[in-house]
Amino acid sequence: DTGVSQDPRHKITKRGQNVTFRCDPISEHNRLYWYRQTLGQGPEFLTYFQNEAQLEKSRLLSDRFSAERPKGSFSTLEIQRTEQGDSAMYLCASSGQITGEGNTIYFGEGSWLTVV
Amino acid sequence: AQKVTQAQTEISVVEKEDVTLDCVYETRDTTYYLFWYKQPPSGELVFLIRRNSFDEQNEISGRYSWNFQKSTSSFNFTITASQVVDSAVYFCALRIGGTSYGKLTFGQGTILTVHP
């Protein structure tokens, strides 16, 4: 399977604990995105990487959230001191160059987070 | 700012009926891209179609067809002869050109249930 892969698919954690999600984009894609989706809502943009550079962050991304893409390949999204409001599905997506087919953004299956 | 409105929260049809999902968008940019994604219960957002703002030609792909009308800022999606496997949440999304870095703005989604 050469699509976007995310790990873990599901995570249940206690409030206050830290969690980390990993995303492996489609191999030739240099652009990587994180989105968050809560029940009954469409996905909301969190952050964007072009290669290893984090070029944009949403105001939704509080100080407890940090994303990295150290070698321009896989990415991690860490949430520190989780709160119940962090419960959501975290979606990773990737795309190629901005022109032509690169305009299409492909999503992974998401990582469900439940904070209890 | 960009906005996407999917006025239909839920649609229920019987198999073999035709169904149209509405999407209205708002943007001041002249270059933009419109998308439809399908989200089955597994959670993955499955790409269906991308349309450029300068290409109003409608498209048909099997039982799926899309009607893009810039005059009404609409990008509607029709499923002909619906099947149970079409049951999912469908999202319309907008991305502007230029330095948007590929950030997508999603609608709230339409839950489609096709009954046998």
pLDDT at A87 over 70: yes
pLDDT at A110 over 90: yes
User: Residue A101 has what pLDDT?
Assistant: 56
User: Residue A98 has what pLDDT?
Assistant: 61
pLDDT at A100 over 90: no
Residues of chain B with a CB closer than 8 angstroms to some CB in chain A = 4, 33, 35, 37, 42-47, 50, 52, 91, 93, 95, 101-109
User: Residue A105 has what pLDDT?
Assistant: 87
B29-75 confidence digits (pLDDT tens):
888 989 999 999 888 899 999 888 888 888 888 999 999 999 999 99
Query: B21: exposed, middle or buried (C-beta count within 10 Å: 0-12, 13-18, 19+)?
Result: buried
Q: Write down the mean pLDDT value for chain B.
A: 92
User: Residue B101 has what pLDDT?
Assistant: 62
A43-83 confidence digits (pLDDT tens):
999 999 999 999 888 888 889 999 999 988 999 999 999 99
* Chain B CB contacts of A33 below 8 Å: 102-103
User: Residue B100 has what pLDDT?
Assistant: 58
Measured CA distances, A73 to A31, A44, A94, A110, B79 (Å): 9, 22, 11, 18, 37
Measured CA distances, A92 to A4, A14, A107 (Å): 7, 23, 6
Q: Verify whether the Cβ–Cβ distance A105 to B43 is below 8 Å.
A: no
User: Residue B56 has what pLDDT?
Assistant: 81
Which range is least confidently modeled, A10-19, A26-35, B95-104? B95-104
For residue A109, give the nearest of B44, B95, B103 by CB distance.
Answer: B44
Q: Verify whether the Cβ–Cβ distance A42 to B93 is below 8 Å.
A: yes
For residue A106, give the nearest of B47, B103, B107 by CB distance.
Answer: B47
Q: How far apart (Å, rounded) are the C-alpha atoms in residues A45 and A22?
A: 17
